[in-house]
Amino acid sequence: MKKIRLSSIVFLLLTGLLFSGCTVQTKKKEAPLKVAITKLKSNKYGNTYRDWLRRYDASVQWVELYPLSVDSALKVLKTCDGLLCTGGGDLYPGLYGKLDEADKCGPPDRHRDSIELAVIHEAVNLKMPLIGICRGLQVINVAMGGTLYTDLPTDIGTKVIHRTKEGKPAWHEVYIHKNSEVYAISRVDSGLVYSHHHQGIDKLGQGLKVSGRTADSLPEAIEWADTIGKGFLMAVQFHPEHGKINAPLSKSFAVKFIGEMKAYRIKNVERK
């Protein structure tokens, strides 16, 4: 009788440990997604980039890379599930061979340039989901060997107003190419978007393709030309974080990015 009781106790203990281990592993997989955001910008309504993602996954966590050194930013990136390159000031024009046009650019932030270029290359190497917004699109293009127009009104004219003379945002139409991932996820071929920039893509970076343009032919969305062997990458010149909650050219990007981060998390767990 004692032997039966002892074996039963051992069985229950082993079973408990087994289920406990499964529970811990499950919790680890279900931990909140963690996004590396290159630089946060808040206003009286909150942090637009963070809040944009949290509309569709309230548990998303984030870490800002800008206050860190390049080495520290690279280390932190490896603990994340995705990289979001945000809007902001002009890149240093010497990075894309147009230092002679520096007078058309705003004051550079060399620290930010260095961090963003480094983490973009690392995210591509890790096949980590990567999304860029406004300046984010520009720095991704430069990281891939592309160049920028240093001032759109001067370089291509004012057929489309991308930013008002007062420096305030503008609204304009963007036209989506049907043979693109942007179209596949948004299911729209055009839309009104919130825009606030005076620079844009001139020469397209290596390995990229244009997936959306404005009426003046300026690239407004880019992605990989060939996705084989690569992680998710998508960038837009406009600001989807300011779009209405169910707007196709706002919601679709956030939902897709979140889904890609979840898939990346699962792949990393499987590798380990």
Please give the distance of CA 178 from its chain centroid, rounded to a whole number. Answer: 22
Tokens describing residue 158: 């004012």
Residue 90 CB neighbour total at 10 angstroms: 21
Adjacent-strand bridge partners of 193? 172
CB 180 within 8 A of CB 219: no
Kindly tell me the burial class for residue 17, based on how many C-beta atoms sit within 10 Å of its own C-beta (0-12, 13-18, 19 or more).
exposed
d(CA 227, CA 126): 14
Q: What is the largest CA-CA distance in the chain?
A: 93
Tokens describing residue 264: 């990346």
Give the DSSP letter of residue 149.
Answer: E
d(CA 128, CA 83): 7
Count of CA atoms in the C-beta half-sphere (13 A) of 53 = 25
* Catalytic residue list: 134, 239, 241
d(CA 35, CA 27): 18
Residue 178 CB neighbour total at 10 angstroms: 9
Q: Which of 119, 137, 79, 24 is nearest to 261 (CA)?
A: 79
